[in-house]
Amino acid sequence: MTEFDGIRNIRPGEELDGAALRNYLGGIMPEWAEGRLDVKQFTSGHSNLTYLVRAESGQEMVLRRPPLGPVAARAHDMTREFGVLSAVHPVFSLAPRPLHLCEDVSVIGAPFYLMERMRGVTLDRLWPTQYPDTPQAARDISQAAVETLAKIHAVDVLDGVAALGHPEGYLRRQVEGWITRHERARTSDDRRSEVIGRQLLDGVPPEGQPTLIHNDFKLNNLLFHHTESNCVTGVVDWEMATVGDPLSDLAIALSYWAQSDDPPALATTLSPLTARAGFYTRAEWARAYSEATGRSVEHLGYYMAFAYFKAAGICQQIYYRYHQGQTADSRFRNLGELATLLLMTASRYLHDESN
């Protein structure tokens, strides 16, 4: 294991019942019935729990299950996520191949599914030692990310993925849905999210041609080649994928892409790596995407405001679980403050026509 594979020992309280899992796997995959089962955890991310399961023979799979404790309605749906990968992998090979879905909660205490283990360098907060520490390598990473998102948006939605979503009115439904989620996860008297939500609802722009969208396209959800910084080898975490407005996907990607003039608290909390010299700015990223796809980014400021509003909602939902004592994960302690900062950023995009 290296600091860039994202795999660590399992966090306390998030262990799996290894014996029960081995017995189950042996019943569906006989080659897994014998020998010791080694389980590690992919420790990045704040949503579904993801584990590397390795047999004594060396075979590997990745297991995904919902987080511990109560979760938002319709969130962390393993059956849906397995179905998404089943539809996407045949038409976009950088998505993991799904292997097996288990809806029997008696096995490990929750539904789960198994998928192939994809290999690559995970980029999060530190510069990877596999690549030369140069501005050119940073630009290569940036352009590879742009081109990968463009490839996702080029998938023919009629080729097996149309059933994943209902694109007509997608953006308005998203705004309405996140207004409701903000309200349900409120932990203070601050009404900022209510004001921003109303402004977003009043200003929904005309939507573009729908495409397959990842909906959580950020740097640490990409796997890069171990020696070539301009090559993406995999895209993971498809739990929110659907068919919808591609500019919303672009804006979500940009909302996770820090740059050097961001408020320090925002850049540090998200991914400070992209604020280093050589990485595209968000404006350069948007221009490169527009050139790669031929799509106009005229209304990108609105989409950016929604992306930060949505990110704030995600943080607030997780913080609500921590605030209510539904999880003891200390990583969630400061997410309420981050949610407020993200709402302030959303408001800035709504009122700054130059964005």
Domain boundaries, the chain: 7-115, 121-351
Residue 355 pLDDT exceeds 70: no
**Helix H or strand E segment including 279:** none
Non-local CB neighbours of 14 within 8 Å, separated by 6+ positions: 41, 49, 68
CA atoms within 13 A on the CB side of 315: 23
Q: What percent of the chain has pLDDT over 70?
A: 94
The sign one gets for the Cα dihedral 77, 63, 307, 332 is positive
**What integer pLDDT is reported at residue 313 of this predicted model?**
95
Q: How is domain 121-351 classified at the architecture level of CATH?
A: Alpha-Beta Complex (3.90)
Give the model confidence (pLDDT) of 171-185 as tens digits.
Answer: 999 999 999 999 999
Average pLDDT, the chain: 90
Q: What pLDDT, on the 0 to 100 scale, is given for residue 264?
A: 84
For the ranges 193-207, 245-259, 262-276, 335-349, which has the lowest average pLDDT? 262-276
Architecture of domain 7-115: 2-Layer Sandwich (3.30)
Average pLDDT over residues 341-349: 95
H/E stretch holding 300 reads helix 300-323
76, two tokens = 């962390």
Do the domains at 7-115 and 121-351 have one common CATH topology?
A: no
